[in-house]
Amino acid sequence: MEDWEFCGDLANSSCQACDAKMNLSWIVDDPTPVVVIIVIVEAILGLFFVATVQKPFLWGMGGAAVVLGLVLLVDYLVVTDREAVEQTIREGVSALRDNDLERVLTFLSPSAVKTRERAIWAMNLVCFTGIHISDLKIEVNPRTNPPTAEARFFAVFRYEFREKTAEHIYEAYAARFTVLFEKVNNRWLLTDHYEYEAARL
């Protein structure tokens, strides 16, 4: 992940649908392996066509090109849950960087009492001047009701105190985070978070 700134029959059928979705989600999450395979197949068919000048190989190349186009189109159009969680994190970081408390709170579930209190306390104390997120890993569990997700990443926050003193003008805080989400009304909302390996820079 790149760095960036800022059962009955009904239950069985539901489980089968969930399994099918999970089995196919890797294609949409990262179509690179599929694209590489299709490109290799295209190259092999191209070599056979050049060597034999037989039309079936040319038709095969055309079919592979169509499949490649469909894979890329699906990847462009379909937003997976993992991608939606990552987008929620990006938008939340943007709201923090803009020091927009009201917008930050819109990303929190009503059950996120600890995180809400932490956000209100911190944003009343400091103004964020920069936020850097790295080593982002996201795991989604569609089997829970509602679906849940867990994101782990390393973050560095740079800020200045709202009430400046000679000793505290600019500060930085770094920590590893585990952030929990749940999907409510097609939105991923933060329910809790944990900080560890924290350090002031």
3-state secondary structure of 60: helix
Average pLDDT over residues 93-115: 95
**Does position 9 have pLDDT exceeding 50, yes or no?**
no
CA 79/CA 83 separation, integer angstroms: 6
What pLDDT is stored for residue 147 in this prediction? 94
Determine the pLDDT at residue 20: 43
Mean pLDDT of 108-130: 94
C-alpha–C-alpha distance, residues 76 and 94, integer Å: 23
Q: Which residue has the tokens 């505290």?
A: 168
Structural domains of the chain, ranges and CATH numbers in brackets = 7-77 (no CATH), 81-200 (3.10.450.50)
Stated pTM of the model:
0.66
Residue 4, pLDDT score:
52
Say if residue 96's pLDDT is above 50. Answer: yes
Band of pLDDT at residue 80, cut at 50, 70 and 90: confident
User: What does the block give as tokens for 76?
Assistant: 């462009």
Task: Quote the CA–CA distance of 18 and 145 in Å, as a whole number.
Answer: 12
Over its C-alpha atoms, the chain yields an Rg (Å, rounded) of: 23
**135-191 pLDDT, tens digit each:** 999 999 989 999 999 999 999 999 988 887 666 656 899 999 999 999 998 899 999
The neighbour count for residue 125, using CB atoms within 10 Å, is 11
Q: Does residue 29 surpass a pLDDT of 70?
A: no
d(CA 107, CA 163): 27
Tell me the pLDDT band of 25, cut-offs 50, 70 and 90: low
Instruction: Name the least confident of 37-41, 97-101, 189-193.
Output: 37-41
- Predicted local confidence at residue 201, as pLDDT: 63
Per-residue model confidence (pLDDT) at position 121 = 94
